[in-house]
Structure 1
């Protein structure tokens, strides 16, 4: 097992420009180091393309990097995300599924822009101007384009207004069900954790009967300490974690300027971090030598 520091302060859910964050992978690592984190996980949506640059930067900054992914899954029309730590980025099944999801996200985004353009001054080129090369294009980039055009004050404002499903512009995209997603992450040597399962409405989508199915499929944990989980949902989630022997993780879901979430505002217990590293077989974390850590 990798030599994870005993008192590591770890944020296990962050995004770069490879998906919908505003920091490049290297900038994300630098921000993690400045925030005082000893470890972080890069978990871009349906992509591992940021890993290589993040690895190099993690070695330079003396920060432990746990490679991961946030896999899109769906229960009917409701989105459910599954974090997969230490997956094999070359696993055929994972590559095929994430490619299908990203392609569906792209065509969905194009349809949304077409619908919005009927009522607002917005073009596909406006959206492309908000993305980096190779990024998984999605609704956050449309939100940024709306902000740039002056139709919304912030990304959050765009999601609360024009991009809200009640506004009539929403379109679904393909994603597997959570059961399939967890099995796929395990098949790729990864460690699956349900991302922010306590947001509003999540209890209806993820009742105990469904959680039990996911546990049987290999679910490792629940991301309970997350800024978007409601206070009302957290006690229920902790009871479920105790009942089914699930680990509890904590993460910021940092997106740079794309969200108000702050790096390190929620963290994961070091023992849980060590268990994730011990279970993950698809890839390896970047763990700086003791001297590199001490130099920070």
Structure 2
């Protein structure tokens, strides 16, 4: 099966709707797709329903934002096949609220330098379950201050090193994995290469807190992929793959289906879910 298991829609910080992602995934001859919006399961039912109609398998998923307090690094956990989406969403809502508060503070500070309005930003964020930097940057692009949403101006203003950045409070990775287990989900560490998380990957695998790891991803280098493969073999982890699709809301955009699961791995994930 050709499966892309990491994609974002307008329900978080992606450009396309659920309908558009499912449609184009089918058009690109994918057999399986998962929409893993940040900290929200808002699109799960719609995606599954559309997938049934179009004849493409949809794996329910969500990308959970967490932090490893030992290193103070971000850790993203992909949760697939959660059995109790309402319990999981209740846990995730605090992150959505914290993100909204932080981004609005960033926007308010930015307004002192640029003539954008909250109404303009909300035009882009209203369909999302929270506000993101991309929505703020899109407003600046509309006014001609940049023609690239995630580019140099974003780095200067709103990135983690930007002058208007406001820190968000995220749950512990261990708490997120505990909730994932409670709702019957399958826990997969996302893109270990992005946050230099190989050591944590092995730690979580040894404790049997995760069942998989994202192997094929644009932020995983060749060396990182070798390390992932070794750890996956040692601890019998499923190796997934995903494009981390956001459309043009990305510094290095990749089309849907650019990064897929290694052969036979999505079948392991499906079997485990049953």
Cα 1:145/1:62, change in 2 over 3 Å: same
**1:148–1:193 CA distance, 2 compared to 1 (3 A):** same
Q: Is the 8 A contact 2:241 2:261 kept in 1?
A: yes
Q: For residue 47 of structure 1, what is the aligned residue in structure 2?
A: 40
**Distance (Å, rounded) in 1 between the aligned partners of 2:164 and 2:190:** 25
Distance 1:191 1:244 in 2: 15
- The alpha carbon displacement at 1:28 in A equals 0.9
For the residue of structure 1 that corresponds to 2:222, the secondary structure is: coil
Aligned to 2:237: 246
Q: Per the alignment, in what secondary structure is the counterpart of residue 84 of structure 1?
A: strand
Of residues 225-234 and 244-253 in structure 1, the stretch that sits farther from structure 2 once superposed is 225-234
Instruction: Give the Cα separation in 2 of the matches to 1:230 and 1:150.
Output: 35
Question: Offset at 1:13?
Answer: 0.5
Counterpart check, 1:190 vs 2:180: no
1:115 to 102, 109, 113: 109
CA distance in 2, matches of 1:152, 1:238: 40
Q: Aligned in 2, Cα 1:149/1:135: closer, same or farther, shift over 3 Å?
A: farther
- TM-score scaled by length of structure 1: 0.84
Residue in structure 1 matching 2:262, options 263, 266, 269 = 269
Q: 2:129 matched to 1:135?
A: yes
Whole-angstrom CA distance in 1 between matches of 2:149 and 2:73 = 21
Structure 1: 5+ residue stretches without partners: 1-7, 282-296
Structure 1 residues 77-119: Cα deviation after superposition (integer angstroms, max 9, x where no partner): 5322111001134342x22221101000100111111222222
Alignment of 1:79 with 2:74, yes or no, is yes
What pairs up with 1:11-22 in 2 under 5 angstroms? 11-22=4-15
- CA shift digits 1:140-166 (9 cap, x unpaired): 222222222322222221433322232
Asked if the contact 2:13–2:128 (Cα under 8 Å) also holds between the matched residues in 1, the reply is no
Q: Which residue of 2 aligns with 1:290?
A: none
Measure the CA separation in 2 of the matches of 1:118 and 1:233: 42
3-state SS in 2 of match to 1:256: coil
The answer on whether the counterparts of 1:182 and 1:214 sit within 8 Å (CA) in structure 2 is: no
Distance 1:212 1:227, change over 3 A: closer
Alignment pair present for 1:223 and 2:182: no
Q: Deviations over 1:43-84 (max 9, x none)?
A: 111111112221222122111111100111113553221110
Question: How far has the Cα of 1:31 moved from its partner?
Answer: 1.1
List aligned pairs for 1:140-179, cutoff 5 A: 140-157=134-151, 158-179=153-174
Higher relative contact order (CA 8 A, sep 6+): 1
Aligned in 2, Cα 1:270/1:67: closer, same or farther, shift over 3 Å?
Answer: farther
Post-superposition CA distance 1:172-229 (Å, at most 9, x none): 1121121221221121111111111102xx22xx352x33442215211211211122
Give the TM-score normalised by the residue count of structure 2: 0.90
Give the aligned partner of residue 204 of structure 2: 214
Query: Does the Cα contact within 8 Å between 1:45 and 1:136 map onto a contact in 2?
Result: no
User: Structure 2: where are the runs of 5+ without partners?
Assistant: none
- Post-superposition Cα deviations, 1:232-262, rounded to whole Å, max 9, x if no partner, equal 4322222222332222211111112323121
The runs of at least 4 consecutive aligned structure 1 residues that moved more than 6 Å come to: none
Distance 1:132 1:123 in 2: 14
Greater CA deviation, 218-227 or 8-17?
Answer: 218-227
**Which residue of structure 2 lines up, in the alignment, with residue 68 of structure 1?**
61
Number of equivalenced pairs: 268
